[in-house]
Amino acid sequence: MRKPLMAGNWKMNKTVPEAINVVKSLKSAVASVSGVEILICPAFTALYAVSNEIKGSNINLGAQNLFWEAKGAFTGEISLEMLKDAGCSYVIIGHSERRQHFGETDETVNKKTKAALAAGITPVVCVGETLKEREGNVTFKVIEKQVRVGLSGISPQQASLAVIAYEPVWAIGTGKTATPDQAQEVHSFVRKIYEQMYKESAEKVRILYGGSVNPNNVSDLMKKTDIDGGLVGGASLEAESFAKLVEYSK
C-alpha cells in the first residue's frame, strides 16, 4: 500500500557540475525502476540545474531546508515559492544537523511543515534521539514530542501526504546503524503515535530510516513492516551506491 521512498540527502556536497555528473549516471542506472520512488536533495545552488537534468525521468527533486514566510527581509533564507520555481516537490525539515548546528526546534519544524504542505510540497520531517538520550532510556519520550509537536495542526489529508524520517543521531555519519529490530521498534512506535493524532493517516504515512544506510544493510532494514524507505546521506553521493539502494529488492 505504501510505495517505498529512497531519498538522497547530499548535504553540503557537490558543485553544480559535480551534481550534474552524478545525476546523469543515476538516471541511466535507475531508468527501469518503477516500484520505488526516488528522491535526491542537492544543495540549493544545484537545484535548478539538477531539475533540468532530471526532467522526464523517474527521479524527484527535493531541498534540504526552507523558511516558512513567503517573502521578506529574511537574509539567507529561501521560500517555498523559490523551491517550487527551482523544480522541487519535496523538502527535508528538521534534520538533526539543522537542530544541532542551526537552532531548529520542534516548533520551527511545525511552522515549516505546515507551510510546505500548504504550498503543495511534501515535507520529509526528521525525528531522532542522540546517543545520550538513547543511553538515558528516553528515546520514546524524545521522539513522541518531536512527532506530536512537529506534525501538529495539519489536516488528515495532509497527514497522509507527509513523510517522517527516523534518524537516530548516534548513527548518522558514524558508520553505526540501528539494527533492523531497533529501527522497526521506533518506526512502529512513531506509527502508533501518529495513529493517535491522525487515525486515518497512520497506515498511509511513509516512515523512512536514516542513519548510515548502505547497500549492505538496506535489504534487512526494508524487510521490516514499518520501514518504508531510507533517508540516505553518504551512500547517495555516488550514482552507483545510491542505485544499489534504490534497487534493494533485486
- Which residues are annotated as catalytic? 95, 167
| Distance of alpha carbon 96 from alpha carbon 39, whole angstroms | 19
- d(Cα 250, Cα 245) in Å, to the nearest integer? 10
With CA atoms as reference, report the closest residue to 151 among 159, 140, 161: 159
Residue pair 213/177 in contact (Cβ under 8 Å)? The answer is yes
Name the grid cell of 168.
537516530
d(CA 239, CA 177): 22
C-alpha gyration radius of the chain = 17
Contact present, 205 and 123 (Cβ < 8 Å): no
